[in-house]
Amino acid sequence: MNILVCISNVPDTTTRIKYSADMKEVDYSGVQWIINPWDELALTRAIELKEANPALVQKITVITAGRADVEATLRKALACGADDAIRVDAASGDSLYTASQLANAVKGDAYDVILCGIESSDYNNSAVGGMMAELLDYNSVSAVSSLNLDGNTIKVTREIDGGKQNIEVAGPVVLIVQKGIAINPRIPSMRGIMTARTKPLKVVPATDVIPASRVVSYEAPPAKSACKMIAPDHIEELVNLLHNEARVI
Amino acid sequence: MSVLVYIENWNGKFKKSTYELVSYGKRIAAGLGGELSIISIGNVDETELKKLGAYGAGKVLSANTDMALDDKAYAALIAEVANKSNASVVVMANNSTGKALAPRVAVKLNAGLVSGVNGLPLSYQPFVVSKKAFSGKSLLQAEITSGKKVITLSQNTAGVEEFPGDVTVEPVDVSAVSGSVKVLSSDVQTGTILLTEAEIVVSGGRGMRGPENWKPLEELAEVLGAATACSRPVSDEGWRPHHEHVGQTGKVIAPNLYFALGISGAIQHLAGVSSSKVIVAVNKDAEAPIFTAADYGIVGDLQEILPKMTEAFRKFKANA
Ligand SMILES: Cc1cc2nc3c(=O)[nH]c(=O)nc-3n(C[C@H](O)[C@H](O)[C@H](O)COP(=O)(O)OP(=O)(O)OC[C@H]3O[C@@H](n4cnc5c(N)ncnc54)[C@H](O)[C@@H]3O)c2cc1C
């Protein structure tokens, strides 16, 4: 069994977002880049499965679409335990553009399981995994919070509104994963970092795809007004404010 | 220029969020000068379907099937109905079902997708919508440039509006629809208030000190008719179930009132709750960052304050 993990390269989650003067672009200067948190959990689970079933899981490949500067993030994924990496040499585009680049790069390759995070922490569009599945004509299960292999049978838990379902699905399948899929993200070991340098990283050219949407402009969210403090021995004042001022109870 | 809204059901019933979605679709159809159709998949009876008329449904296409959610099969069905009804805009909820289906439908229709849209489009030609990005740290305006468009609506950002009118219900042929994922078992909460639907949410963080202290928090939630939630470390520690975790990596919620109890207010936590209309924070540390996000704050020890709060709200409810 071969597993493909899609990796999005995103600003560290504590990054303060800055913009160009015309507010049409994000200013990424000085940003610390990380593996998208959900993708990191997906990769962690793939590695755990390979370690637990060495005879079954042959290879973990990581893939991203981006220019050469995203290779640092791919090397980090290799250092965590992926076997090889693919970079589609594409500019950034919308979800449909990115998903098409990834799908075109792996079409015809024998991946049994493709893992994608449920969203990317930059554009929060929850789109690439489902789009890839449709482009490849594979099954997909979204909101997956646990993944286990029973021989070649793929068993997953899907989170639904107010509950969960245990599902069995045959590969090839795209699993769109969320919290719970792994608990502690893998951190590269010293040895991992050393071996990552020599692991294969293949660069493939982008394909011609027309994006279907674009960002027109950005805006900082409106500032919050000051917090009204209430004395701990005047809780009835809180009740009063919530009822008469905020009108939410 | 017609609009198709996909709606799900919970044991054959709709929720307030369904009505929000339908009336949202109605307003978009009006903006485009077109018709609205609804596609419902699942076992929903005629009486329930007819309720959608009050929110502008016009025409409801009902795919009455027992088949559990199967991303590929459901998406194919929705895309087929979208093509038949000549829909140029397809709308879904930005919840776990919408996130599963919208991307697949978008590819089938060769449409651009923007998820988590806040409220109505800012313009129809060009088609521009507003959404949050960077987990709430930024807002952006996006234009969908393709002829067909798919959007998912952030719950509670459009509101429910009534458009009383006639509604027709038409069955959709589902004989050819088949899924390939096998549901072995499911475990669905009943009786409790869904976190994503709740108008009031009471949430606890590490400041609650341990799972044994949750009883008073649950009591407060009960008095207020609220759902319960928690911060990430609380669910990671197993103090509370994972489905209660809110924040960047958990659920994103937008209730009218959110209580952050013993939660420091880390940026990743705020990413999931900052759309709440009103935030109340209780923390023993006056410098905790949660107070910069909150509307009302109390500095103090929860062990003392929580029972007092419950008492005060109980009294209020008794007199209301
Ligand atoms: C990639 C990434 C993603 C993340 N995603 C999420 C997410 O989705 N959701 C999330 O919540 N976190 C998330 N986090 C974690 C986040 O950074 C914080 O660590 C977390 O939110 C802190 O949880 P807390 O507020 O419960 O605990 P703490 O930060 O430990 O805060 C506890 C608070 O309780 C107060 N307190 C203690 N005792 C009392 C008392 N007796 N009475 C009153 N107050 C008391 C303290 O003053 C303190 O402010 C993420 C982190 C990363 C790196």
Q: How is B227-270 classified by DSSP, letter by letter?
A: EEEE-HHHHHTTSS-GGGBBSTTSB----SEEEEES----HHHH
Of residues A130, A179, A211, nearest to B104 (C-beta): A130
Per-residue pLDDT tens over the stretch B217-271: 999 999 999 999 999 999 999 999 888 999 999 999 999 999 999 999 999 999 9
Confidence of residue A225 (pLDDT cuts 50, 70, 90): confident
Q: pLDDT-based confidence at A115, cuts 50/70/90?
A: very high
Closest among A120, A126, A130 to A174, alpha carbons compared: A130
Separation in Å, CA A123 to CA A62, A145, A215, B16: 21, 21, 10, 27
Q: How many residues does chain A have?
A: 249
pLDDT confidence tier of residue B292, bands split at 50, 70 and 90: very high
Instruction: Chain A: give the shortest CA distance to residue B168, in Å.
Output: 28
Q: Is B305 in the pocket of ligand 1 (CB under 6 A)?
A: no
Lookup: tokens for B69: 């959610």
CB burial of residue B122 (10 Å; 0-12, 13-18, 19+): middle
Q: Which of B243, B258, B268 to probe ligand 1 with, by most ligand atoms within 8 A of CB?
A: B268
Question: Beta partners for B246?
Answer: B251
Q: Provide mean pLDDT across the span B40-60.
A: 97
Across residues A114-131, what is the average pLDDT? 96
Q: Look up residue B126 and give its DSSP letter.
A: T
- Look at residue B199 in the predicted model and tell me its pLDDT: 94
Rounded Cα gap, residues B113 and A131, in angstroms: 10
Cα(B165) to centroid of ligand 1, in Å? 48
Mean pLDDT of chain A: 96
Q: Which of B236, B284, B299 best tests ligand 1's pocket when mutated (most atoms within 8 Å of CB)? A: B284
Answer yes or no: are the C-beta atoms of A34 and A89 closer than 8 Å. Answer: no
Among B213, B231, B308, which is best to mutate for testing ligand 1, by the most ligand atoms less than 8 A from CB? Answer: B231
Say yes or no to pLDDT of A162 above 80.
no
pLDDT at A88: 98
Please tell me the pTM assigned to this model: 0.93
The C-alpha torsion from B256 through B25 and B153 to B119, rounded to 10°, is -60
Tell me the C-alpha to C-alpha distance, in Å, between residue A3 and each of A60, A135, A149: 5, 18, 12
Q: Chain A closest CA to B31's CA: distance in Å?
A: 20
Q: A15 and B243: CB-CB below 8 Å?
A: no
Mean pLDDT of A201-228: 95
* A108–B contact, CB cutoff 8 A: no
- Return the percentage of chain A with pLDDT > 70, whole number: 100
Three-state SS annotation for chain A: CEEEEECCEEECCCCCCEECCCCCCEECCCCCEEECHHHHHHHHHHHHHHHHCCCCCCEEEEEEECCHHHHHHHHHHHHHCCCEEEEEECCCCCHHHHHHHHHHHHCCCCCCEEEEECCCCCCCCCCHHHHHHHHHCCEEEEEEEEEEEECCEEEEEEEECCEEEEEEECCCEEEEECCCCCCCCCCCCHHHHHHHCCCCEEEEECCCCCCCEEEEEEECCCCCCCCEECCCCCHHHHHHHHHHHCCCC
Of A61-65, B66-70, B295-299, the poorest mean pLDDT is in B66-70
Say if A140 is an interface residue toward chain B (CB within 8 Å): yes
Task: Kindly tell me if the per-residue pLDDT of B14 is higher than 90.
Answer: yes
- Return d(Cα A76, Cα A82) in angstroms, integer: 9
Q: Do A232 and B300 touch (CB under 8 A)?
A: yes
Q: Is the CB of B237 under 6 A from ligand 1?
A: no
* pLDDT tens, position by position, B125-175: 999 999 999 989 999 999 999 999 999 999 999 999 999 999 999 999 998
As a whole number of angstroms, the distance between CA B15 and CA A243 comes to 25
Residue B242 has what pLDDT? 85
Q: What are the angstrom distances between the C-alpha of B255 and each of A7, A88, B117, B310?
A: 32, 41, 16, 19
Report pLDDT digits (tens) over A8-27. 999 999 999 999 999 999 99
Mutate to test the interface with A, among B137, B155, B190 (most CBs of A within 10 A): B137
In order of start, what are the domains of chain B with their CATH numbers?
2-171 (3.40.50.620), 195-319 (3.40.50.1220)
Q: Which residues of B touch A133 (CB under 8 A)?
A: 71-72, 103-104
Q: How confident is the model at residue B188 (pLDDT cuts 50, 70, 90)?
A: confident
* CB–CB contacts below 8 A, A to B: 282
Residue B265 CA: nearest ligand 1 atom is 25
Q: Distance (Å, rounded) from C-alpha B134 to C-alpha B64? A: 39
Percent of chain B with pLDDT over 90: 89
Residues 161-180 of chain A with CB under 8 A from chain B are 161-170, 176, 178-180
C-alpha A176/C-alpha B144 separation (Å) is: 24
Facing residue for A131 by CB, picked from B103, B138, B274: B103
Amino acid at A142: S
**Using CA atoms, how far apart are residues A138 and B75, in angstroms rounded to an integer?**
12
From the CB of B263, is ligand 1 less than 6 Å away?
yes
Q: Is B249 in the pocket of ligand 1 (CB under 6 A)?
A: yes
Is pLDDT of A127 > 80?
Answer: yes
The two tokens of residue B95 are: 């919840």
B217 Rama sector, left if φ>0, alpha if ψ -120 to 50, beta otherwise: alpha
| pLDDT value at A141 more than 80 | yes
Query: A120, A169, A183, A238: which to substitute to probe chain B, counting the most B Cβ within 10 Å?
Result: A238
> Ligand 1: does its nearest atom lie under 6 Å from the Cβ of B232?
yes
Amino acid sitting at position B207 = G
pLDDT of residue B179: 87
Go through the domains of chain A in sequence order and give each one's CATH number.
Answer: 2-215 (3.40.50.620)
CA distance A199 to chain B (A): 30
| ipTM above 0.90 for this complex | yes
In eight-state DSSP terms, residue B295 is: S
Contact B298 A179 (CB under 8 A): no
Contacts with A, B 279-318, CB within 8 Å: 280-281, 291-300, 304-305, 308-309, 311-313, 315-316
Strand extents, DSSP E, chain B: 2-7, 36-41, 59-63, 87-93, 112-117, 127-133, 138-144, 149-153, 168-171, 182-188, 200-204, 227-230, 257-261, 278-283, 296-299
Residue B16, pLDDT above cutoff 70:
yes
pLDDT of residue B192: 74
CA dist B159 and B20 (Å) reads: 5
Percent of chain B clearing pLDDT 70 (strictly above): 99
Mutate to test the pocket of ligand 1, among B236, B251, B263 (most ligand atoms within 8 A of CB): B263
Is B277's Cβ below 8 Å from some Cβ in A? yes
Structure tokens, A163: 């509950």
